Structure 1
Amino acid sequence: MLYKYTRIDEYLKSILLDGYIFGASPHVLNDPYETKLCIKMDGVDIDGYSKYVFEESKFSKSYSPANRMMAKKQFCHLLASNPGKRLEDIEKSFNMHCSKFARIVSLSSDENNPLLWSLYADSHKGVCIEFESDVGLFSLAKPVLYTDSYPVVPVDWRLGGSISLWEKLILTKANFWAYEKESRLALMANEEGQTITDQVLLNTGGSRASRRNKPNGSEYYFGRDKIKSVVLGARVAKDNKNNVCELIEGSGIKLFQAKICRGSYELKYIEI
């Protein structure tokens, strides 16, 4: 099972009523290191890489034939004469590309974490949702790798040519986030403008209509029947509690209330 700690708002309504979950663009998340990487030159064939960039890649189409050769020579010169500055520029460009096309759905394998309640569930006034993760969309979620340094990428990596590398960037975070026990759906546009998730939805009977565009991200259809339970926060307001009850009424979704334990810094969940 996987869990989503969240506040009570219109996005919660999309989850509980419509079966859609929000995938965020990296630049709106709370970690400034999202999708950061370190590009290396070691062992790279500069001539071969520049040939790919200016003759084979989609990027090359932005140059006229007359300008392509001159741009290629300048590119090789920059890489050879000032590789540090050039690699930094490539890293910045890559991060901008990720912010534009990447979509991240953040989940946790921890069903009862007071810190996650505080950070993501509106200081215990929101909810924690339990999802079935053996089948469907959530079966694609992968655990985050926590480490001390950025992922290292060779400069001649073919942009768009490796879904696994996109996932590596989206699924790598600093060690100080390890307490979250996060799993993620790593979504990225491919050459046809679909996302990885769109392809899976098509293969499982879904369609491109299974994605709804939103500011700073997109919502993805997962199916309401994948929700197993909802836990109300220990500080949930009465009106919000009633709203959640109405949203899941008759759905078969179990409802729990989080309570602060007496004598220990723990939460207990009581079915209601």
Structure 2
Amino acid sequence: MNSLEENVGDSYPSHFFKYTPIEGWLPSLLCGDSLLFSSRLSFNDPFDSRPGFKVTLETKEGRTFMQSKLRSRTQLKPAQRIMHLRRLEQLQKRQTTDSNEGVNTLLDSAGILSLATSWENPLLWAHYAKHHKGICIGFHSNIGIFRLAHKINYEEMMPILRRPQDTPQQMLDKTFLTKSKCWEYENEWRIIKPKQTQYEKDVTFSTNEELKRLMLDCNGPGIYKFDKDSIESVTIGMRTPKEDEDFVKETMKNLGNHVPLYKIEALGMTYELRRKLIGVY
């Protein structure tokens, strides 16, 4: 999930796009100071990043895992330990999202940036850009953190975390890079920033200096800086109020990034969108 070498070739998009409302923090975003990585706790889809959970008792590793869970509860009375064991056995039989606290802590503490691959998706404008009243920011995919994006897999079946076999990396992949088939129209890509200890930051990507530099600020959900030169375009929605449009234009003029500014227009008697160049600011 963290190899630059994986993100090359014809299948990797040339640009990524972020649909967003127009808010007071826009200047901070356009100057590279404010890119929000969200927790899965804030997602609008209640199933997003909520995989099933299954403990495998049939393997040696599974039995060891169960025994360690019981040892961690030595303060329980014998009858309580038996009840706890039965609960764990039931957890193994049904594929449930009620995973243990350690797994939930790992997954809750990861930051996620969701990206699209086009600016002309009407549903994305409606869902994420304030009903076509917001903007869509384009990014070069070959600059900085945008080189670390990974494509979402859309599946009919919910992914299952298998303990104890799955590594933390496998759990992150299954959790954040798989969504229900009904969301396939989004064609989403994601950048993941799991919260890492200082030791993990010191040893991760030790053979790839560029990746190590990009991932040193892996601190989970929150605001991150990014290379402002990665901004490729800004597109205003077709319903954006004039005062908001003027705010975007004035912000871009003040920053002087020399980025094209477009406005969405309807294309004749079709459902297609087109964008008209307003200027370069």
Q: Same fold (TM over 0.5)?
A: yes
Contact map agreement 1:51 1:72 (CA 8 A) in 2:
no
Match of 1:181 in 2: 187
Letter of the aligned partner of 1:47 in structure 2? R
- Deviation of 1:255 after TM superposition, in Å, equals 0.7
Q: Take 2:148 and 2:35, find their aligned partners in 1: how far apart are those partners?
A: 14
Q: Take 1:91 and 1:23, find their aligned partners in 2: how far apart are those partners?
A: 23
1:35 aligned residue (49, 52, 72): 49
Given the alignment of the two structures, is residue 246 of structure 1 paired with residue 250 of structure 2, yes or no? Answer: yes
Contact map agreement 2:20 2:135 (CA 8 A) in 1:
yes
Q: What SS class does the counterpart of residue 268 from structure 1 fall into?
A: strand
Match of 1:222 in 2: 226
Uncovered stretches (5+) of structure 1, i.e. residues with no partner: none
Q: Take 1:176 and 1:98, find their aligned partners in 2: how far apart are those partners?
A: 26
- 1:137-156 to 2 correspondences below 5 Å: 137-156=145-164
Uncovered stretches (5+) of structure 2, i.e. residues with no partner: 1-14
Letter of the aligned partner of 1:27 in structure 2? L
In the superposition, relative to structure 1, how do residues 181 and 100 fare at CA in structure 2: closer, same or farther (>3 Å)?
Answer: same
Q: Take 2:122 and 2:213, find their aligned partners in 1: how far apart are those partners?
A: 36
Match of 2:59 in 1: 44
1:112 aligned residue (112, 120, 124): 120
Identity %: 26
Given the alignment of the two structures, is residue 79 of structure 1 paired with residue 88 of structure 2, yes or no? Answer: yes
TM-score, structure 1 as length reference? 0.79
- Deviation of 1:205 after TM superposition, in Å, equals 7.3
Q: What SS class does the counterpart of residue 269 from structure 2 fall into?
A: coil
Letter of the aligned partner of 2:59 in structure 1? V
Q: Take 2:182 and 2:197, find their aligned partners in 1: how far apart are those partners?
A: 35
- 1:53-68 to 2 correspondences below 5 Å: 53=69, 67=75
Q: What SS class does the counterpart of residue 174 from structure 2 fall into?
A: helix
Residues 210-241 of structure 1, C-alpha deviations (whole Å, 9 max, x = no match)? 97x9xxx4012211111010001111111111
Q: Take 1:105 and 1:257, find their aligned partners in 2: how far apart are those partners?
A: 24
Letter of the aligned partner of 2:230 in structure 1? K
Contact map agreement 1:54 1:68 (CA 8 A) in 2:
no
In the superposition, relative to structure 1, how do residues 244 and 84 fare at CA in structure 2: closer, same or farther (>3 Å)?
Answer: same
TM-score, structure 2 as length reference? 0.77
Contact map agreement 2:52 2:161 (CA 8 A) in 1:
yes
Q: Which moved further from structure 2: 117-126 or 244-253?
A: 244-253
Contact map agreement 2:107 2:172 (CA 8 A) in 1:
no
In the superposition, relative to structure 1, how do residues 205 and 262 fare at CA in structure 2: closer, same or farther (>3 Å)?
Answer: closer
- Deviation of 1:171 after TM superposition, in Å, equals 1.0
1:16 aligned residue (22, 26, 30): 30
Match of 1:127 in 2: 135
- Deviation of 1:252 after TM superposition, in Å, equals 1.1
Contact map agreement 2:51 2:161 (CA 8 A) in 1:
yes
